[in-house]
């Protein structure tokens, strides 16, 4: 397939449309109800633990967790 400027624009438009139509959850609680998001969460947590950049713990009373992006 020959790629032209118009074709790239069509591909970009299709990609953006797919992003806009995807329901992206804002919380882990909502995401964990969807199979594909739950799997992504598990992979991310395993990676963080493997790299020793993060570990599970009990949050002390009155403290807020630090997010991960």
DSSP for 20-65 reads HHS---SSHHHHTTSHHHHHHHHHHHHHHHHTTS----PPPTT--P
Q: pTM of the prediction?
A: 0.46
Which is more confident, 26 or 59? 59
pLDDT for the residue numbered 50: 92
Q: What is the mean pLDDT of residues 3-27?
A: 76
- Residue range 33-68, pLDDT digits in tens: 778 888 888 898 899 889 988 778 899 999 988 776
């Amino acid at each position: 397939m020959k790629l032209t400027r118009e074709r790239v624009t069509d591909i970009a438009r299709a990609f953006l449309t797919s992003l806009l139509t995807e329901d992206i959850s804002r919380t882990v609680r909502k995401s964990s109800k969807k199979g594909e998001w739950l799997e992504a969460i598990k992979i991310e947590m395993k990676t963080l633990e493997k790299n020793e950049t993060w570990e599970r713990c009990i949050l002390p009373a009155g403290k807020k967790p630090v997010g991960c992006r």
